[in-house]
């Protein structure tokens, strides 16, 4: 890596640190302007609270009227893709992680509670004679349909599709597909009931 490239990277890191941490309305304004230039695609009226971190923004698309709470993290890479719809709410400290060559799609009108994690890849561990840190990753995808509520402290693991109108209970770990309008909870997440159920 050349010295000029190292200097450019260092300057970019400093610029993003400053933009990430500007408080108040000036911060919202600066982050909106910056990400309009850097993201693959972004529509209007999004609100980015301070602490937002987006890696490889050229592979991230965001619709309109979405809210990103304090300290959210969106991790894409050269070979991955993250698509976020419109009117999506990310509470504080949500992590969307598609490092490697994974893909994450989040539909419209989705609610994601604080401290939740969506991770499209997972560590390989098949060979017990090799340290897990040296076995690489298994890539996958996550697809979240419209009108889904993912409650706080939930984890969505690779190769899961969450159907329209589903609810993920707080603290759930989702390892399989979730049907539309289902309510799931637990570790691993299991069906609790359907939303059309009447007491």
Digit-coded pLDDT (tens) for 112-160: 999 999 999 888 888 888 998 888 888 899 999 999 999 999 999 999 9
Mean pLDDT of the chain: 92
Q: What proportions of the chain, in percent to the nearest 5, are helix, strand and coil?
A: 20, 30, 50
Catalytic site residue from 123, 190, 193, 195: 123
Q: What is the pLDDT of residue 198?
A: 61
Q: Using one digit for the tens of pLDDT, what is the confidence trace for 56-97?
A: 999 999 999 999 999 999 999 999 999 999 999 999 999 999
Residue 145 contacts by C-beta under 8 Å, 6 or more apart in sequence? 107, 161, 162, 163, 164, 165, 166, 180
Tell me what the mean pLDDT of segment 105-109 comes to: 97
b/e per residue, 63-88, with b = 16+ CB within 10 A? Answer: bebbbbbebbbbbbbeebbbbbbbbb
Q: Is the pLDDT of residue 199 over 60?
A: no
Tell me what the mean pLDDT of segment 45-51 comes to: 93
Q: What is the pLDDT of residue 9?
A: 84
- pLDDT tier at 196, thresholds 50, 70, 90: confident
Q: What is the pLDDT of residue 122?
A: 85
Residue 105 annotated to the active site: no
Cα(37)–Cα(57) distance, integer angstroms:
10
């Amino acid at each position: 890596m050349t010295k000029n490239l190292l200097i450019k990277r260092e300057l970019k890191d400093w610029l993003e640190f400053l933009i990430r941490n500007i408080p108040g309305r000036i911060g919202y304004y600066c982050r909106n302007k910056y990400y309009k230039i850097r993201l693959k695609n972004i529509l209007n009226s999004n609100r980015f609270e301070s602490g937002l971190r987006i890696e490889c923004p050229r592979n991230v698309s965001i619709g309109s009227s979405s809210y990103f709470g304090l300290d959210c993290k969106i991790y894409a890479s050269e070979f991955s893709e993250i698509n976020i719809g419109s009117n999506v709410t990310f509470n504080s400290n949500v992590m969307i992680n598609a490092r490697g060559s994974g893909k994450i799609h989040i539909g419209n009108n989705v609610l994601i509670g604080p401290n939740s994690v969506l991770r499209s890849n997972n560590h390989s561990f098949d060979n017990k004679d090799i340290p897990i840190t040296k076995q690489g990753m298994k890539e996958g995808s996550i697809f979240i349909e419209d009108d889904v509520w993912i409650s706080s402290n939930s984890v969505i693991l690779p190769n899961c599709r969450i159907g329209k109108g589903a609810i993920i209970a707080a603290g759930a770990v989702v390892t399989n597909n979730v049907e539309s309008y289902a309510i799931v909870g637990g570790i691993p997440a299991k069906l609790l009931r359907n939303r059309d159920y009447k007491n």
